Amino acid sequence: MASLNAFVTGADVSSLPSLERSGVVFHDKEGKEADLIEILAENGVQCIRVRIWVDPYDQNGNGYGGGNCDLDNAIELGRRAREQNIGLLVDFHYSDFWADPSRQTLPKAWKGQTKEELTQTIYNYTYDSLKQLKYNGIIIDYVQIGNEINNGICGQSGLESSCELLESASKAVKEAVPEAKVVVHFTDPGSFDFGWAAKVLEKGCVDYDVFATSYYPYWHGSLEALKTNLKTITENYGKQVMIAETSYPYTDRDTDGHPESVTVKDTSVQRQMVMFLDLSKAMETFGESYEGIFYWEPAWICVPAEDQNSRKAVWERLGSGWATSYAAGYDGQAARYHGGSATDSQALFDEEGCAMESVSMFSLVHSWM
């Protein structure tokens, strides 16, 4: 992986193949049609982050949406990353759909297993998936074992009860891709005690290299609180720290007719850039312990269609929206919010797919540090 500096600048582009199948086309800052990953690489993105769901389809093969992010999707994006000479962070959710503190739903195929069986299953799944990626010539730089695991993974009752599974996943990473760094990922840095989590992981003998967090400024408090929380990790546990997800709106307008996940008053392309630069500047105070920063879904924009009903049909058929109605049987939340992108207002590309000035912030963050 090419590196411009001691820390990595990256972007999560998991939904990209589904967007392209839905007719979305991207343009660089000069207005020329171009591959999204190429545009990002030319503007300082050094690594892409790609989520993997175990089986994001119903019994009839209908996708749950959110990009239908199965292993094949990750293989496609991993190949494209290598073509651009940039790195890959593999983000295992260990679920068939979205995993976060409010839900860590066990994959359908893993239901009914004992804890011992589940521990072996998560090892086999992690190991086999990584080997398939490597078989396809993909270089893996980071492997994230679980997504926003404050409350545990795989339907477990908490972080403590998840340590056996996490250690099994970590062991699989170390044996399948020993050159990759193992990442654990939490969220809510303004209120969740990272020191407590690190202590639980240490007690549970979970082997990892990077302690990552999401940081969305409109939800997660001040930068000072973020730094204070992460300082415990670097000073007491000697781990690298990372921002695995962040984003900020460039507009208060909903561009695709599907409600946004957040409403912020102070929005602009410039505010996007200031947020990202300020966040990375705050993280830079950790020196060599600062591993990197990833912008979440910078290109999840409106899909082209003649009217809103046609657009809804595309989201449902190709999975390029937040969720499809087919996901409701697995994830109850999907019944309430299925449809388009909930974060199109936070993209770095406008609704026509044209790169905005903020796409250059990945390069700027290195030149200004």
Indicate which residues carry an active-site annotation: 148, 245
For 63-84, the DSSP string reads B-STT---HHHHHHHHHHHHHT
- Angle subtended by helix axes 163-176 and 115-135, to nearest 10: 30
Please answer whether residues 228 and 236 qualify as being in contact, where contact means their C-beta atoms are separated by less than 8 angstroms. no
What is the number of other CB atoms lying within 10 angstroms of the CB of residue 263? 12
Q: Which residue has the tokens 């790609």?
A: 50
Q: List the beta bridge partners of residue 103.
A: 100
CA dist list (Å): 120 to 112, 127, 284, 331: 14, 11, 38, 25
Instruction: Answer yes or no: are the C-beta atoms of 31 and 314 closer than 8 Å.
Output: no
Q: How many CA atoms lie within 13 A of 101 on its CB side?
A: 10
Which of 220, 233, 119, 125 lies closest to 176, judged by CA? 125
d(CA 50, CA 77): 8
Q: Nearest-CA neighbor of 267 among 245, 294, 248, 254?
A: 248
In terms of C-beta distances under 8 Å and separation of at least 24 residues, what long-range contacts does 308-311 make, across chains too?
Answer: 308/257, 311/256, 311/257, 311/340
On whether the CB atoms of residues 296 and 272 are closer than 8 A, the answer is: no
For 29, counting Cβ atoms within 10 Å of its Cβ (0-12 exposed, 13-18 middle, 19+ buried), the class is: middle
Q: Which residue has the tokens 């080997």?
A: 131
Q: Say how many Å lie between the first and final Cα of the chain, rounded.
A: 20
- Can you tell me the distance from the alpha carbon of 77 to that of 248, in angstroms, rounded to the nearest whole number? 24
